[in-house]
Amino acid sequence: MAIRNFVLVGIVAIGPAAAGGCGGEGQVTTTADRDAATAADDASRDATTIVSVMRLPLGDGKYLPAPKQGYVFSCKTTFMTGMGGAFADGPWIHRDTGTFDFTAKTVVQGEVRWPAHAFTARVTGATRTITGNGLPDHTTGTFPIAASDPAYAYDRNPNTIEAQTNTWSLPANPAVAATETCLGGGPIGVLLSGAVFFDALDAEGRDAVAHETQDACQAHPAPSGAYHYHSLSTCLPDSGSGHSALLGYARDGFGIFGVRGEGGQPLTNADLDVCHGHTHEISWDGSIVSLYHYHATYEYPYTLGCFRGAVP
């Protein structure tokens, strides 16, 4: 059975992911691979706030019609079983403790390359224009999931990855809105890989990261053919120390950064607001500005809990 072959230093994943799917040779070169000493220092300084990715709390049912820290503020609050996705719990899910082991998840096999990948983000005046075809700049698993793939025992995703037409006009200098906005499913942002990301819920209102089988870059196709993530991909490079790098943009124009905050320490839900972000000085389009921004975390809801700015 193909699994995510991770060893953890704190909550920083190191080591290659089984079954390929990232980089030229199917190896996941992570932050700690490039700077293991820094990761070890980070872990020792912040041991009391570390969330182990081997014991992540399940996010099943953690959605509300209003914003709340650690939840998805979902426009949709009625879900039905049998709507697709995983149909059986994998051995990485531990119902008795309400947790799952991210490092033990079965990975969809394959190393498919996408030479037609296209993605640009350009600022003209007050507008950031995002264009692309939704195909990633890294390899993906093979979809639909083959009957011979171990992942087929839990999730028989029948969808095929297909090019999309993604053209978004976002505010280059977004502002915090008076009220938060719910997440309506589908793309809530795009990562610099060129592929979009969805919120943390699957079609049945469960924790998509815990239940659905994805490839080694933590993504898979929707019925529309849109290849998408539900969490930050380990196939996006991040700096080895200090505040995480900008890794994408949400639909309201705010940036989404990696898991590390100002002191270079991994963030948890407790460090962020109801939409999964906060405000401080960051590097933004070549300048240092005080600006609201989102962070990814290893724990649910992984990316956004709601939109903090107005969505065009």
- Which has more confidence, 263 or 131? 131
Instruction: Convert the pLDDT of each residue in 13-25 to its tens digit.
Output: 322 233 344 443 3
27 band by pLDDT with thresholds 50, 70 and 90: very low
Instruction: Convert the pLDDT of each residue in 59-99 to its tens digit.
Output: 999 999 999 999 999 999 898 887 778 999 999 999 999 99
Please choose, from the candidates 259, 272, 293, the residue with its C-alpha nearest in 3D space to the C-alpha of residue 31.
259
Domain boundaries, the chain: 7-309
Residue with tokens 């994943």: 13
At residue 82, the pLDDT reads 73
Mean pLDDT of the 204-228 span: 97
Burial classification of residue 49, based on how many CB atoms lie within 10 Å of its CB (0-12 exposed, 13-18 middle, 19 or more buried): middle
Please choose, from the candidates 169, 162, 157, 177, the residue with its C-alpha nearest in 3D space to the C-alpha of residue 128.
169
Strand-pair category, 287-295 with 277-284: antiparallel
At residue 33, the pLDDT reads 36
Q: Are 85 and 211 in contact (CB under 8 A)?
A: yes
